[in-house]
């Protein structure tokens, strides 16, 4: 059976078609500038050149119409007719406390996701538009919602509650949700497979280090804690997000700089992180290059980054009473040889021993710890 997976943003849409039994990727593509001038679909059948088509698309339904046409195109398509697409998977950011795994999309599911719009006002509406468009164009094809928050729903109250007045949790759903769940789930399961164990036998710390970044403490196959919170701005230092800060800083800077709430929201989400600290870039490659050329702010930005990851690893080892494996994934986790070394350095007393030679690897799932290391270290390419 062929499965279409869709990740709908507000003005863009990414998709892939996979052969479910073999998990073979058949094609992938990106639609950009939906609803604005210059709409374009970039479609790539695996093994062929990219097919780029510029054509007006006024909304997500139009965009998905073009995707479906591309899928059955005689030259670039991967199916003879739409009947060959047996199911559609939709990535949805927020399912609140409603779902702890992927679900078949029904009217009730859509209603529940609409109720979560408040919690993810930028993402859930676009995700829902994608679902509505697909349901209109493929009314008989089963659709599944896959939620960024779902895998983290196993967290116990001591991990997810903030020490705020309790009624903010009951009235408004203010709690830690966590994100990147699909990635943490995939890499923790893959790590167990690589170590020849069942997820239920392992304590794993998964480090998803991309533009956005989060850690998860996965104990016996279930999330015990994660570093992102009510929103994705919490936890680690990221490309442009600040991660954990003293919450009182917000009011202090707002008063000093004459900023309102929206202004401060922009500071913590778009102007901070390694970009804000280094003044160079949010891309780790640029920051690493600048540091190598002697830029001191870039150097310190990378040190702050590694320090924060280290402190979470320590915290999660304490929370789980040890750990069997640390997994590095996403752009920086999979490729950042220097960053992995900086994070693992000085953790030998916790049983974490990186092998420099084995660490010299990018984009491959393998073991990079020394044979003597109590905690195995594995880079694993994510597959969200
Ligand atoms: P997202 O999906 O969150 O946009 P990615 O998982 O693609 O992010 O990760 C993007 C980050 O990975 C970028 O900051 C980039 O600098 C970093 N990255 C990618 N390749 C490398 C590399 N070879 N060395 C260091 N960092 C890298």
37-57, pLDDT tens digit by residue? 999 999 999 999 999 999 999
**According to DSSP H, which parts of 181-295 are helical?**
181-194, 248-257, 261-270, 273-278, 284-292
Q: What is the mean pLDDT of residues 241-250?
A: 98
Q: What mean pLDDT value characterizes the chain?
A: 96
**The token pair that represents 281 in the structure block:** 């870039």
For residue 354, count other CB atoms closer than 10 A to its CB: 21
- Minimum-distance ligand 1 atom for the alpha carbon of 362: 23
In this structure, the answer to whether residues 207 and 349 fall within a common structural domain is yes
Residue to mutate (ligand 1; options 30, 180, 284, 381; most atoms within 8 A of CB): 284
pLDDT band, very low/low/confident/very high, at 205 (cuts 50, 70, 90): very high
Q: Does the beta carbon of 239 sit less than 6 angstroms from any atom of ligand 1?
A: yes
How many domains would you assign to the chain? 2
Which pLDDT score, from 0 to 100, does residue 163 have? 98
- Minimum-distance ligand 1 atom for the alpha carbon of 339: 25
In this structure, the answer to whether residues 368 and 238 fall within a common structural domain is yes
In this structure, the answer to whether residues 134 and 199 fall within a common structural domain is no
Q: Of 108, 148, 246, 286, which residue is the catalytic one?
A: 148
Q: What is the distance between the alpha carbons of residues 379 and 340, in angstroms, rounded to a whole number?
A: 9
| Residue at 251 is within a domain | yes
Work out the percent of the chain whose per-residue pLDDT is above 70.
100
Instruction: Name the burial class of residue 225, with classes exposed (0-12), middle (13-18) and buried (19+) by CB atoms within 10 angstroms of its CB.
Output: buried
105 within 8 A of 158, measured Cβ to Cβ: no
Q: How does DSSP classify residue 246?
A: -
In this structure, the answer to whether residues 351 and 237 fall within a common structural domain is yes
Domain that holds residue 230: 181-379
- Residue of minimum CA distance from atom 19 in ligand 1: 331
384 pLDDT more than 80 = no
- Residue of minimum CA distance from atom 14 in ligand 1: 283
In DSSP terms, 204 is beta-bridged to 218, 325
Q: Does the beta carbon of 273 sit less than 6 angstroms from any atom of ligand 1?
A: no
44 within 8 A of 28, measured Cβ to Cβ: yes
In this structure, the answer to whether residues 219 and 125 fall within a common structural domain is no
In this structure, the answer to whether residues 186 and 123 fall within a common structural domain is no
Q: Does the beta carbon of 283 sit less than 6 angstroms from any atom of ligand 1?
A: yes
Cα 335 to averaged position of ligand 1 atoms, centre (Å): 8
pLDDT band, very low/low/confident/very high, at 270 (cuts 50, 70, 90): very high
| Residue at 206 is within a domain | yes
In this structure, the answer to whether residues 62 and 197 fall within a common structural domain is no
- Minimum-distance ligand 1 atom for the alpha carbon of 282: 14
Catalytic residue list contains 148 = yes
111-169 pLDDT, tens digit each? 999 999 999 998 899 999 999 999 999 999 999 999 999 999 999 999 999 999 999 99
| Residue at 384 is within a domain | no
pLDDT band, very low/low/confident/very high, at 10 (cuts 50, 70, 90): confident
Which residues lie below 8 Å from residue 165, measured CB to CB, with a gap of 6+?
Answer: none
Q: What is the distance between the alpha carbons of residues 155 and 331, in angstroms, rounded to a whole number?
A: 26
Which residues lie below 8 Å from residue 345, measured CB to CB, with a gap of 6+?
Answer: 354
| CATH code of the domain covering residue 113 | 3.30.420.40
CA torsion angle 13 19 20 25 (round to 10): -50
Residue to mutate (ligand 1; options 9, 273, 285, 342; most atoms within 8 A of CB): 285
362 within 8 A of 222, measured Cβ to Cβ: no
In this structure, the answer to whether residues 67 and 116 fall within a common structural domain is yes
- pTM, two decimals, is 0.94
In this structure, the answer to whether residues 140 and 191 fall within a common structural domain is no
């Amino acid at each position: 059976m062929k499965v279409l997976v869709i990740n709908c943003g507000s003005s863009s849409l990414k998709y892939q078609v996979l052969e479910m039994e073999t998990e073979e990727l058949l094609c992938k593509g990106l639609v950009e500038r939906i609803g604005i001038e210059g709409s374009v679909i970039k479609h790539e059948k695996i093994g062929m050149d990219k097919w780029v088509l510029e054509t007006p698309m006024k909304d997500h339904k139009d965009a998905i119409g073009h995707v479906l046409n591309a899928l059955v195109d005689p030259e670039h398509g991967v199916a003879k007719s739409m009947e060959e697409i047996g199911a559609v998977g939709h990535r949805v950011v927020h399912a609140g406390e409603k779902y702890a795994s992927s679900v078949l999309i029904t009217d009730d599911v859509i209603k529940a996701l609409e109720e979560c719009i408040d919690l993810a006002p930028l993402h859930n509406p676009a995700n829902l538009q994608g679902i509505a468009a697909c349901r209109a164009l493929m009314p008989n094809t089963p659709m599944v919602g896959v939620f960024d928050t779902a895998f983290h729903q196993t967290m116990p109250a001591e991990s997810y509650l903030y020490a705020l007045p309790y009624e903010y949790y009951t009235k408004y759903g203010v709690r830690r949700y966590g994100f990147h769940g699909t990635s943490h789930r995939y890499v923790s399961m893959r790590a167990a497979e690589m170590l020849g164990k069942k997820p239920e036998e392992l304590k794993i710390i998964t480090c998803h280090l991309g533009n956005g970044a989060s850690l998860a403490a996965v104990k016996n196959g279930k999330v015990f804690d994660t570093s992102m919170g009510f929103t994705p701005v919490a936890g680690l230092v990221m490309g442009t997000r600040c991660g954990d800060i003293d919450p009182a800083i917000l009011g202090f800077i707002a008063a000093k700089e004459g900023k309102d709430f929206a202004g401060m929201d922009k500071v913590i989400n778009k102007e901070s992180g390694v970009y804000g600290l280094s003044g160079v870039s949010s891309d780790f490659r640029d920051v690493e290059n600048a540091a190598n050329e002697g830029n001191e702010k870039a150097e310190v930005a990378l040190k702050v980054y590694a320090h924060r990851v280290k402190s979470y690893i320590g915290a999660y080892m304490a929370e789980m009473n040890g750990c069997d494996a640390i997994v590095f994934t996403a752009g920086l986790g999979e490729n950042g040889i220097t960053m992995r070394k900086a994070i693992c350095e000085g953790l030998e007393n916790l049983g974490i021993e990186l092998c420099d030679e084995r660490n010299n690897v990018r984009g491959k799932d393998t073991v990079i710890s020394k044979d003597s290391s109590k905690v195995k270290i594995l880079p694993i390419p994510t597959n969200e």
